[in-house]
Amino acid sequence: DRAMIPLGSCTMKLNAAAEMMPVSWPSVANLHPFAPAGHSGGYRAIIADLEAWLSEITGFDAVTLQPNAGSQGEYAGLLAIRGYHRARGEGHRTVCLIPSSAHGTNPASAAMAGMSVVVVRCTEDGNIDVEDLKAKAAEHSKDLAALMFTYP
């Protein structure tokens, strides 16, 4: 908890050191990426359980735990949103509302996913300007695909 947290690891800053300890245990941390399937049964069981729990909690048919990185997750989520709108015959929905306080990966991910970024103002204390959000959502309602608000 005294080391630098690199850029792009926003959610890692919210994890207590006690929650991160198991990741450093040799029995957990040192599985070789090319280990035989017979050596990774415990990992696969943990992953399968987590996916099942997340599916149950969210009501989704399935979830993915990949990619792990925040910016990759943003991009994957935005691609899923684009696919959803296209599947419904609403491929024109390409506007993504993003606050002015957003991390730089947010508009970059939206642009890479083929979306047009519309910036939502923030208040002096860093919160979303709700009135500006309402106005921008109304203005772009026919083409609105997503709202991208990241916490923290």
Domain coverage including residue 36: 10-58
Measured between alpha carbons, how far is 48 from 82 in angstroms, rounded to an integer? 27
Q: Do 14 and 48 share a structural domain? A: yes
Pairwise pLDDT comparison (30 vs 144), residue with the higher score: 144
* Number of domains comprising the chain: 2
pLDDT in tens, 125-140: 889 999 999 999 999 9
Q: Do 140 and 80 share a structural domain? A: yes
Residue 104 in tokens: 């730089």
pLDDT in tens, 31-40: 888 989 888 8
What is the three-class DSSP state of 58?
helix
**Does residue 5 sit within a domain?**
no
Q: Tell me the pTM.
A: 0.73
**Does residue 65 sit within a domain?**
no
Q: Do 139 and 100 share a structural domain? A: yes
Pairwise pLDDT comparison (84 vs 42), residue with the higher score: 84
Measured between alpha carbons, how far is 102 from 81 in angstroms, rounded to an integer? 19
Nearest Cα to 97, choosing from 137, 44, 150?
Answer: 137
